Amino acid sequence: MNDNNTKPLVVFTASSLALPLLNQLQKNGQLTTVVLPALESSSPFAHEVFNLRARLQEKGIPYLNCGKEQLSELVHDLDRMQVEVGVIFTYPHVLPEKLLAYFAHGVFNLHGSRLPAYPGPCPLYWQIRNREPVLTLTLHKATNEPDQGDIVATREIPIHPLDTLQSLSNQMAWLALPLIAELQQVLAGQKLTYQPQLTADKNWESMPGKNYARRPRASDLQIIWHNMSAEAISAMCRAGAGQPFSALFYYNNCPLLLQQATPVDYPQFGITAGTILFIGEPEGLIVATRENAVRLDIISCADGLFTGYAFAERFSLDAGIQLKS
């Protein structure tokens, strides 16, 4: 039931990750509407938004479709709904100044990192790649500069060494609930306090994505055998799990995607990185890296999905063969 002091919310989102939050807000009578981006079918977000729209229809959750160019005019719809607070959670567009200024109690963004580290569209991907130990979901004031506003509250969870992008995203989705509940509680009874973001650390330059969590480029997805440790390759696979591309390498000029890999203790005897060290059961397909060795657990290619050992058997790989970057 809606508390009389609770501020009505509108949520801007383009992802099904927002569903736990939307369900809870709808249950509590705190959700006015959901704003979805109106996207071309060629957009990388289009399929996700289509699925989310279908789920909202199933659950009877109200929503609006709004193109990027029409966001400033959204205030006319919001006026009729008497909305006072906006929440952004995985939304692809920066809200214009006119829309930000409309909300009496402000607009707040949920971002999957401890800002100012990992600002940008893909913070979870790069945190897994960099083997960070903790994920922080940050609630901060939204501005016309993405991920730059003062911080309202945070929640943390440990990142498990076996977490994938999807498993960590699902955990983050549930972290949003207590953060927004805290926001609602504070707005109902007292003035919000903000903490300014700290200055970015110069040492972050050595960690890809930490200064800006960009969308991965093609070059980010290639396994460089001579330059990557077994742990780095494993993290690369987990960060890309479930995505169209995860970790790319080549055999006989054929592109192969490594979906899962595990660091293992196996003697290398100075063998060149990328060389197959061993094929057999139960060890599997083991390859030399810059540091230690890695077991190729799951490989996908044009011919299907294989365990590393099954792939080696099917395509007649032998110890000593050099895999290419």
How many Å is the Cα radius of gyration of the chain? 23
The full DSSP string for 132-163 is: -SEEEEEEEE--SSTT-SPEEEEEEEE--TT-
Same domain, 107 and 172: yes
| pLDDT at residue 18, rounded to an integer | 98
Bigger pLDDT: 82 vs 235: 235
Percent of the chain with pLDDT over 70: 98
Is the peptide bond prior to 96 cis by the omega test (within 30 degrees of 0)? Answer: no
CA 187 to chain centre: 28
| pLDDT at residue 291, rounded to an integer | 86
Same domain, 224 and 197: no
pTM, rounded to two decimals: 0.93
Beta-bridge mates of residue 138: 111, 154
The model's pLDDT over 211-262, given as tens digits with 9 standing for 90+, comes to 999 999 999 999 999 999 999 999 999 999 878 778 999 999 999 999 999 9
DSSP E strands in the chain: the ranges are 9-13, 31-37, 63-66, 85-89, 107-111, 134-141, 151-158, 248-251, 254-264, 276-280, 284-288, 293-301, 304-307
Of 1-10, 12-21, 110-119, the one with minimum mean pLDDT is: 1-10
Q: Does residue 125 carry a pLDDT above 90?
A: yes
Kindly give the interhelix angle for 165-189 and 230-240, rounded to the nearest 10 degrees: 60
207 domain residue, yes or no: no
Question: How large is the average pLDDT for residues 12-17?
Answer: 96
Q: Does residue 1 carry a pLDDT above 50?
A: no
Q: How confident is the model at residue 319 (pLDDT cuts 50, 70, 90)?
A: very high
CATH number, domain at 305?
Answer: 3.10.25.10
DSSP E strands in 40-133: the ranges are 63-66, 85-89, 107-111
58 token code pair: 């199933």
CA 126 to chain centre: 8
Residues in the chain: 325
Which residue segment(s) compose the domain that 108 sits in?
Answer: 9-202
Q: How confident is the model at residue 191 (pLDDT cuts 50, 70, 90)?
A: confident
285 domain residue, yes or no: yes
Same domain, 239 and 119: no
Count of domains observed in the chain: 2
Q: Does residue 3 carry a pLDDT above 60?
A: no
| pLDDT at residue 31, rounded to an integer | 96
Residue that the structure tokens 């214009």 belong to = 96
The model's pLDDT over 252-304, given as tens digits with 9 standing for 90+, comes to 999 999 999 999 999 988 899 999 999 999 999 999 999 899 999 999 999 99
Same domain, 56 and 149: yes
The model's pLDDT over 134-152, given as tens digits with 9 standing for 90+, comes to 999 999 999 999 999 999 9
